[in-house]
Amino acid sequence: VSHWSRYMRTSAGYMGPNALSVPFIGNGRIDSMTYLGVTAHLHFSKGDNTQNIALYGNYCLVKDVVALDITYIPIELYQMSDAVKKERHVYYDRYYHNIAKGDVLLNTNIRLLKKLDKDIRLTLRVGYRFPSSSDLATARYTDGMGYYIDISFGKTLSPSLQWIGMAGFYCWQIDSDKFRQNDAFLFGSGLEWNRNGWNVQSYFAGYLGYISGSGDKPIVIRANAEKKFSKTSLLLRLQQGLHDYKYSSAEFGMKFFFRRKPLVAAK
């Protein structure tokens, strides 16, 4: 009787791996480098294997104070089993579809309370997900807006090692008879190591929605490694879902740096 979209469950537990993924953790610093990046993602789970390309960009407006970064998934290929399609209520007219495009994520990053840098570094992030994706009917993306606001921190433990973390709020639009949006507490914590051009992170992160039993509480553990050169860097990221996220993932690719001055110099 109702439109097919009313049967979709727009939560991380019942959609593709990139629909409502956990945001990356910050380290309390502003990335003052201007770069473009491209990576390949491989996601594996029982009944759903996914491959996609991701494009990244970063532009610093005020050195060490304000920066913008953007992420876009232009193409996603996937193969879902009949059991997964039925569990996710895939619309019959799109039952055999296997290609999608993702959302655009735009983050504004602002450094806070620089006078506290000797003790702890703090950065505010305001992120917005533009509903530019396709394939809500195949449970790949939500086709709805979302935003998150969080504060990341970094505390030095040794010259090369620091404790990093984030805490904030995550909200996304849903379409149901009872709820119009889902709100969640966003969190994460771990360690970061920097030396000789290497940046290595290991941490857990997730968010906790308030709709019981809906699959809206994804928690993941991640390990990232990036090696920087003069104009490029190579990166590898591994991710394992622990709760309400059923995928084991790998990401690898490159960043290309451009030596451009910020629009405004920090005083």
Q: Which tens digits make up the pLDDT trace of 165-212?
A: 999 999 998 876 677 789 999 999 999 999 999 999 999 999 999 988
Query: Taking residues 117-139, what's their average pLDDT?
Result: 91
CA–CA gap between residue 9 and residue 136 (Å, rounded): 10
- Please say if the pLDDT value at position 252 is more than 70: yes
Q: Give the pLDDT of residue 208.
A: 97
Sign of CA pseudo-dihedral 228, 233, 234, 235: positive
CA–CA gap between residue 60 and residue 186 (Å, rounded): 25
CA–CA gap between residue 15 and residue 233 (Å, rounded): 31
- Please say if the pLDDT value at position 267 is more than 60: no
Query: How many other C-beta atoms can be found within 10 angstroms of the C-beta atom of residue 229?
Result: 11
Residue corresponding to tokens 């979302």? 146
Phi first, then psi, for residue 85 (nearest 5°) are -60, -40
Q: Can you list the alpha helix ranges (DSSP code H) found in the chain?
A: 82-87
Q: Which tens digits make up the pLDDT trace of 19-61?
A: 999 999 999 999 989 999 999 999 999 999 999 999 999 999 9
Q: Give the pLDDT of residue 174.
A: 83
Give the pLDDT band of residue 265 (cuts 50, 70, 90).
low
Q: Give the pLDDT of residue 177.
A: 64
Q: Give the pLDDT of residue 119.
A: 87
Is residue 165 within a helix (H) or strand (E), and if so which, with residue range? strand 161-173
Per cent of the chain over pLDDT 70 is 96
CA–CA gap between residue 121 and residue 156 (Å, rounded): 9
Inter-residue contact 151 to 123 (CB < 8 Å): yes
Mean pLDDT is lowest, of 14-18, 121-125, 261-265, for: 261-265
Q: Report helix, strand or coil for 163.
A: strand
- Please say if the pLDDT value at position 263 is more than 80: no
CA angle 47, 50, 51 (to 5 degrees): 160
Whole-prediction pTM? 0.90
Per cent of the chain over pLDDT 90 is 78
Q: Give the pLDDT of residue 118.
A: 83
